[in-house]
Amino acid sequence: MENEYPGKFIVFEGLDGSGQSTQTNLLKHFLSKQGYSILITKEPTLDSQAGKLIRSALDKEKELSPKELQQLFAEDRKEHVNNVIIPALEVGTWVISDRYFFSSFAFGASDGIDIEWLIEINKGFPLPDATFLLEVRPEICVQRIQSRGKPQQLFEYEEKLKNVWEGYKKVADRFNGIHIIDGEQSIEKVAEDVTGIIQDTLF
């Protein structure tokens, strides 16, 4: 459903290591200077029981089937939307989320799940006013992930990320308001591209 609340809803998407968290924080800084009230959030959350189970699966501590994992994402998202996103939008706060249901569509499809089923279990959640899909080659993403010095999570391997990107391209063709940004530019140039689109479409 379209966002019908006073606040604007913005989402950053991309492969792991594509820079969503960095751009989320830069956009918050930019919009705050314009006088807007901003809430930054992230999926999966760490608050719900479903979110904790997702973390265990991503960290390869718990084994779940692809469908079980995506059902948990939808459960976690329901709590996130109802308890965090909508209450903020209702009072005019702009919400910036690092990942949303487009991640479920792309990552779930990469696991062989039918995208129509994925869309169905995420039906009824508000559509973002703008989604920024950061395009970074899978091999670059893996280099960035490995440079963090932490164990690689379930999807953080080059072949897997290639399949995820194919899923993202299908999503971008299907939904309105998705802007593909070259995420291999400098951090500053990516932020400039994002704010330019925000100014053209949401102000």
Of 24, 32, 19, 12, give the one whose Cα is nearest residue 130: 12
- What tens digit of pLDDT does each residue of 149-183 get? 777 776 667 888 999 999 999 999 999 999 999 99
Cα–Cα distance between 191 and 25 in angstroms, integer? Answer: 10
pLDDT of residue 178: 98
Strand residue runs (E) in 31-177: 38-42, 94-98, 130-135
Alpha helices for 124-186 (secondary structure H)? 138-147, 158-174
From first CA to last CA, the distance across the chain in angstroms is: 21
Rg for the chain, CA atoms, rounded? 16
- What tens digit of pLDDT does each residue of 113-161 get? 999 999 999 999 999 999 999 999 999 998 998 888 777 776 667 888 9
The DSSP 8-state label assigned to residue 31 in this structure reads: H
Q: List the domain boundaries for the chain.
A: 9-41+90-201
Length of the chain: 203
Alpha helices for the chain (secondary structure H)? 20-33, 49-58, 66-80, 86-90, 101-110, 115-121, 138-147, 158-174, 187-201
- The model's pTM is 0.94
Degrees to nearest 5, angle at CA 12 with 9 and 16: 150
- What tens digit of pLDDT does each residue of 15-47 get? 999 999 999 999 999 999 999 999 999 999 988
Q: What homologous superfamily does CATH list for 9-41+90-201?
A: P-loop containing nucleotide triphosphate hydrolases (3.40.50.300)
